[in-house]
Amino acid sequence: MSLVVVGSVAYDGVETPHGRVDRMLGGAATYIALAASYFTKTRLVGIVGDDFADEDTRFIASRGIDLEGLERVPGKTFFWAGKYSPDMNDRETLVTDLNVFADFNPKLPESYRDSDYLLLGNIQPELQRNVLAQMKKPRLAGGDTMNFWIKDFRVELLSTIAQWDFLLINDSEARMLSGESNLKRAASKILAMGPHTLVIKRGEYGAMLFHRDAYFIVPGYLLEDVFDPTGAGDCFAGGFIGHLAEQGFDLQAGHIGRGDLSRAVIYGSVLGSFCCEKFGVERFRTLTRAEIDARFQEFRAFTSF
């Protein structure tokens, strides 16, 4: 099964209590694709400038990720810099230079259009809708969004997610999107907007899944050292859709249920937790599928009673 991932490919500057890196590979699509690449054939759609380093292209490609959809244009690659609070639960954005990403208008290569799964990273809702329109007939499509689109592009966003199978957002976004502070009520309202599946990410506290009338909650993995949480939510998304794609699940055939989706949430949690163990994408240089599966079993061990 094949997966298309659309979103930002960027350079990040990050400061956490554990250190600081001025410029390193980042971007939502990068993290999502790297995480998903452990499970399924992954195809990336993004845009970078002519400053994008060959070694970064090579690293992404080394994970078997198809880069035909990574556009390279004159100018500079999207740059973001931020600084985390001492407990790393908050971060302050220091720099957002959209650069070539400002004109990102994702076009799917012909070879991508019959892919089975689509994961839309956080970009303008209308662009997300245009991407879905370019796909032939994906088994499952969905994605992420953020406070900015919820607040200022609500109409566009609602018509976009109405077409999605799943939406992956964090708890404050779920509250903002639904206008409900209680997450159970928030989830009911969001499911009524279209998606049959909602995943609410809660950072260190884990994640919740809502699928029709069923729900599932998992606590976060207990890391002894969180070096850098940048990209953890995107890696969650990559692990989640990666598992569903690997299993070949779809809704039409009726063989996707709360149990399958819950295990996808665990794979998402596993990938998100590994992401935090090193700065940026560094953990993915050594991470193996065996480590991923071992941590999946750890989740079983520390949550069963």
Q: For a copy of itself, what does the binding mask look like between residues 177 and 206, x meaning CB under 8 A?
A: ----xxxxx----------------x--xx
List all residues 6 or more positions away from 227 whose beta carbon is below 8 Å from its beta carbon: 16, 18, 19, 276, 277, 278, 279
Instruction: Please select the residue that binds a copy of itself; options are 226, 237, 270, 275, rule is CB under 8 A.
Output: 226
Question: Shortest distance, CB of residue 207 to a copy of itself, whole angstroms?
Answer: 9
Phi/psi region, residue 99 (left: phi>0; alpha: psi -120 to 50; beta: rest), is: left
DSSP 148-180: HHHHHSHHHHHHHHTT-SEEEEEHHHHHHHHT-
Q: Does 208 bind a copy of itself (CB under 8 A)?
A: yes
* Side chain identity, residue 206: G
- List 102, 114, 259, 286, residue binding a copy of itself (CB under 8 A): 259
Residue closer to a copy of itself, measured from CB, 185 or 285: 185
Shortest CB 216 distance to a copy of itself, Å: 6
Tokens representing residue 151 in the block: 């607040």
| Helix extents (H) in the chain | 28-36, 54-62, 125-134, 147-152, 154-161, 171-178, 183-191, 232-247, 258-275, 289-303
Q: In b/e form, how buried is each residue of 149-178, taking b as 16+ CB within 10 angstroms?
A: bbeeeeebbeebbeebbbbbbbbebbbbbb
Q: Which stretch binds a copy of itself (CB under 8 A): 30-38, 107-115, 246-254, 294-302?
A: 294-302
- Among residues 39, 60, 16, 38, which one has the least CA distance to residue 281? 60
Q: Which stretch binds a copy of itself (CB under 8 A): 34-42, 147-155, 156-164, 256-264?
A: 256-264
Of 54, 55, 225, 290, the one binding a copy of itself by CB under 8 A: 225
Residue closer to a copy of itself by CB (options 76, 202) is: 202
Asked if residue 124 binds a copy of itself (CB under 8 A), the reply is no
Binding status of residue 305 toward a copy of itself by CB under 8 A: yes
Q: Using the rule CB under 8 A, is 265 a contact of a copy of itself? A: yes
Q: What is the greatest pairwise CA distance in the chain?
A: 56
Does 216 sit near a copy of itself (CB under 8 A)? yes
Residues that bind a copy of itself (CB under 8 A): 86-87, 181-185, 202, 205-206, 208, 215-220, 222-226, 259, 262-263, 265-266, 299-300, 302-305
